[in-house]
Amino acid sequence: MARIEMQIGGFGGQGVILAGLVIARALSLYDGKEAVFTQAYGPEARGGASASGIVVDDEKVDYPYPLHPEILVIMSQEAKTTYLPNMRKGGTLIIEENLVHLDEMPEVSEFHKIPATNLAEGLGNKIVTNIVMVGFISKVVGDRIGLTKESIKKSIVEMVPAKVRDLNEKAFETGYNYEEE
């Protein structure tokens, strides 16, 4: 596997940073990959733009920031405006379908959409929207980046507070098992 760049963009409060950290941790600690995690967020914190960057490779990562991600996950309209122009042509685009509207389809090889917020609300708390998205990401691109279902589940258990662990595990399974229309 050659270097793969992934970026998850959204707004503060959606758990974009935690989502990226969970994925990078699973890749590096359990799947034997070289993975680097970076984060970016605006000074507004909640409500402002935020992003997680993950670079994964079989060899040491020479530069930690995704410049032209081939896997782009967009969870808000502002993130679409900010991050979509940098996406590598022919990449994979994943969107939160109820929060992101595309005026025109970018040049991608794969396009996926999921109503992650609605699915999280159906579980009783939209705070797990990010973990629903992590489940979906794992299913859609897991094989390509060397991410296994078992490793991501371990990472979630270690990263979330014990009192919401069951909810997060359900959220992961909901995203992983989601069937696109």
CATH number, domain at 160?
3.40.920.10
Strands 49-57 and 34-41: antiparallel
CA angle 144–66–148, rounded 5-degree value = 25
Mean pLDDT over residues 100-112, rounded? 92
Q: What is the pLDDT of residue 46?
A: 61
pLDDT confidence tier of residue 181, bands split at 50, 70 and 90: confident
Domain with 68 in it: 4-176
Residue 94 confidence class, pLDDT cut points 50, 70, 90: very high
- Nearest in space to 174 (alpha carbons), one of 142, 144, 131: 131
**pLDDT, position 131:** 98
Is it the case that residue 139 has pLDDT exceeding 90?
A: yes
Q: Mean pLDDT, the chain, as a whole number?
A: 94
Q: Evaluate whether 64 touches 38 at the Cβ level (below 8 Å).
A: yes
**Would you say the pTM of this structure is higher than 0.85?**
yes
Q: What angle do CA 42, 48, 52 make, to 5 degrees?
A: 65
* pLDDT above 80 for 93: yes
In a domain, 181, yes or no: no
- Structure-token pair, residue 147: 């991410």
CA angle 69, 151, 79 (to 5 degrees): 30
Predicted local distance difference test score (pLDDT) of residue 12: 84
Q: pLDDT digit string (tens) for 9-54?
A: 998 889 999 999 999 999 999 999 999 999 987 665 566 779 999 9
Exposed/middle/buried for residue 58 (C-beta within 10 Å: 0-12, 13-18, 19+): exposed
The pLDDT value given to residue 49: 77
Is residue 73 one of the residues assigned to a domain?
Answer: yes
CB 73 within 8 A of CB 9: yes
Number of structural domains the chain divides into: 1
